[in-house]
Structure 1
């Protein structure tokens, strides 16, 4: 479900349209594009510890339980897909990140990523890493995407 606001000049609408336009590139196994994007952002993924949840079924539930179980730390949770809002993918200490945080973070990194042919999932994953760094999370719990070990 796509949450596109009606107003053509709404900043949230513009962000979502920009990200959804990346979708046609689809899944292209390999980490080169994401590694390039992360290097351009001075490696936000290195700012926190990571628990990476993989498997066939139940990844989202397991990731949520782990994130909830370690709330004594400042915890980020990244899951996909979202059901209603893109912000559902990024949680800090159990709460979805505010739209303004997503908008501000994307605005600050988009130009540095412009030459990297990222898919929607890759771009949103990189965005999540940068959000977590800016939010000062100590631990990020990440749900594996459809591509498994070669996915963003």
Structure 2
């Protein structure tokens, strides 16, 4: 049975992005089309669409740059390869080496996420300070406004 392939327009519409975004992601080697038609039009399979969804989630939820996304994707690919090696390996020594390599990759991913969290926390703290100043100003002015209304409407 032939796999269902999507055109650039289909993928862009499905994911809510532009065709230019797809072309750019291909240009910088984040994705590759599954194949091309005889006329040279790109066609994408489910694996590429899933990868694109993952990229978009990393941008949206983690706030990752395209460079950071490349780093994450490469680490995930490496982890997948290490998992495959681990499952094939019979030597406990080799399995231990594979686990250690995996730990290094995972630690680098956690570090990236921790750095993002720290940066977002600093940004949030800055906005909270500004919000507190606004609330304080509002409370002070509410008191003055109330006093002004009492003067204008004596009982």
Shorter-chain TM-score: which interval?
Answer: under 0.3
Q: Which has the higher strand share?
A: 1
TM-score by structure 2 length?
Answer: 0.25
Q: Please report the TM-score for the alignment, with normalisation by the length of structure 1.
A: 0.25
Q: Relative contact order (C-alpha < 8 Å, sep 6+): which is higher?
A: 1
More helix by share: 2
Larger Rg, first or second structure (1 or 2):
2
